[in-house]
Copies of this chain bind each other. A is one copy, B any other.
């Protein structure tokens, strides 16, 4: 992250030999004093050098009045002085040759204009000096690697060492996991509080963690995603080996798109984030509790290879709640093979339930807990086991826990590789941990969470397989019949002639033609031309207002369908013209569009907007008025892959309409996929296109492709988006 060539273990943020604490203070409770204490009490294996103009020694360490006074080189400076002093300190770091800085101090962009001004200068200065910086306004960095034991934060709580690395846009939210780690049996490798991420951001950390053998699971709390395209590439590449679990605060960005566009109105920020995450396999948590629960589950290297879940409980009600949750998460709670039930019957109480969920009943003995656990872990009919224990008496807990542990140990020794999730509902004994021969069993306290995590583990595994199989698939860029230079020329000419504008109907048709997407019909500016076109197409035809300015043609009653002769076409032309004249909008009429009638297809919407932050976003949804009210729409970020378009279409609730619903024909899903890939190429390549709506586009039966019935394209110089 500092230098791709440098040896990993020399990274100055994570493996510094000498740390200077600037602003180290003797004043108890100050950040400087706290950081110094944390570094020392954490057992840092390198040297700690306090820098303070007013002290010779702090906490028994020799202090220096300035960085320049330190005789040895410094790998990392931790700056705790206030914002207004930060710039001169950076100059000093540069003079001393310090390669890396953690700036904990707050008072930058997060606190208004003045702070933003300092932050801007800070950014310029570190770029100038080629210093890498974490922060400002951050909580610091931890590296729990036993060879370094670095705690450059101001919490003295050190989590156990383990596979999880954390990056957080909020010092507190990240620290919450660090603080909870020991209680929930979660091992942490590194923790980075990103603060205002003036320099080092989540993407830099992903790259670092990709190489870091300690890190096996990546946990993110994000309020923004810097450089989403880079994030996507990195997350996809790294996530298939090291699962990435994200809690994203759902703040919406200010709407940027022109009013009235269907696509724009629906592409809210949070749905875009969802699209991004599902495209690159990031596992999203929507609540703090889920986030932590997923971290625990993914930390265990055993993961389910299927969706069949066994439930072992000592409370019928808890079993029912858990089974409900499994079903909700798309998991299966299958009946047990008779041989398994028979085995259970041989040692459980006659009052026990031998089905799945298996209820050993409240007063089960240690022996019964052990034998039931071992039996279910030994069954090939299950891919994962949830064990629910509800205590009604603290005195019973030890024997239940002992039984469960014995059962797990015996099953592991017999070769069972099935993952296990515990729900330990034992009041007064909630913090009991289950570590069995080095394996930390994820342990929760409500019957819903184990089902939730197994659902996400299964979905991740499916994505990972697909992602690994994906290598070598043709990319969208290899589609035939793309003439992107011509597309670019059409948009550039419109921009040059008229500035930011909606393309005319002819321009839209030509533009879609360059990417081989058929737009139905032809423009006619005179009744005679309309009739000639109708005769070329063949009756019946539709005649519609062509206007780049008027969005809702149906509401203006400027759409005539099923016209069967010359007379009707002429009447329609004049009626549309008159209606516009009456409305005082004659100048908005480009002419009429004469189209063949299409039947037997399904109406959809395909659109693209350009999110100011995420770039081009492509949408597909069921067409008609329902798209907005019912919100059956799926988004994807360009460039779309084959897998992306396939997922987008299949995730529509209305997808069955395309697959032979109620004896309708099977529709041309491949054709629709092709359109989405082409639109993705178009908007990715032609940055002047700021908005595009194909609405409706008709998907015809299999083999017959799609037809665009109406479309709008807004061009705008890309610098002005």
Contact = CB atoms under 8 A, between A and B. Distances in A.
Contacts of A250: 324, 328
Contacts of A168: 317
A179 B221 contact: no
A316 B552 CA distance: 44
A330 interface: no
B316 A446 contact: no
A175 interface: yes
A392 B289 contact: no
Contact of A321 (B173, B179, B390, B394): B173
A146 interface: no
Interface string A25-38: 00001010010000
A593 B154 CA distance: 80
Contacts of A175: 390, 392
Interface stretch (A295-303, A623-631, A635-643): A623-631
Interface string A636-670: 00000000000000000110110001111000000
Nearest to A179: B427
A39 to B, nearest CB: 15
Given A363-B29, A363-B31, A393-B157, A317 B448 contact: no
Nearest to A452: B287
A288 B448 CA distance: 8
A194 to B, nearest CB: 11
Contacts of A179: 391-392, 427-428
Contacts of A180: 427
Interface stretch (A106-114, A378-386, A674-682): A106-114
A155 interface: yes
B288 A321 contact: yes
Contacts of A223: 317, 320
A552 B168 CA distance: 56
B363 A107 contact: no
Contacts of A156: 393
Nearest to A34: B393
Contacts of A631: 653
Given A155-B393, A180-B427, A427-B183, A317 B362 contact: no
A519 B653 CA distance: 32
Nearest to A556: B663
A172 interface: yes
A361 B315 CA distance: 44
A376 B350 CA distance: 59
A171 interface: yes
Contacts of A3: none
Given A425-B176, A446-B289, A154 B392 contact: yes
Interface string A404-429: 00000000000000000000010110
A583 to B, nearest CB: 12
Interface in A356-392: 361-363, 390-392
A582 to B, nearest CB: 16
A340 to B, nearest CB: 18
A593 to B, nearest CB: 21
A315 B446 contact: no
A361 B625 CA distance: 47
Contacts of A428: 179
Given A169-B317, A287-B448, 5 more contacts: A107-B351, A157-B394, A552-B663, A629-B654, A629-B661
Question: What are the nearest 10 A-B pairs in CB distance?
Answer: A170-B317, A172-B315, A173-B317, A179-B427, A155-B392, A172-B390, A249-B320, A288-B446, A250-B324, A287-B448
22 contacts: A107-B351, A156-B393, A169-B317, A170-B316, A170-B318, A172-B317, A172-B392, A176-B427, A179-B428, A180-B427, A183-B427, A247-B321, A249-B317, A250-B324, A250-B328, A289-B289, A289-B446, A289-B448, A555-B662, A622-B626, A622-B630, A629-B657
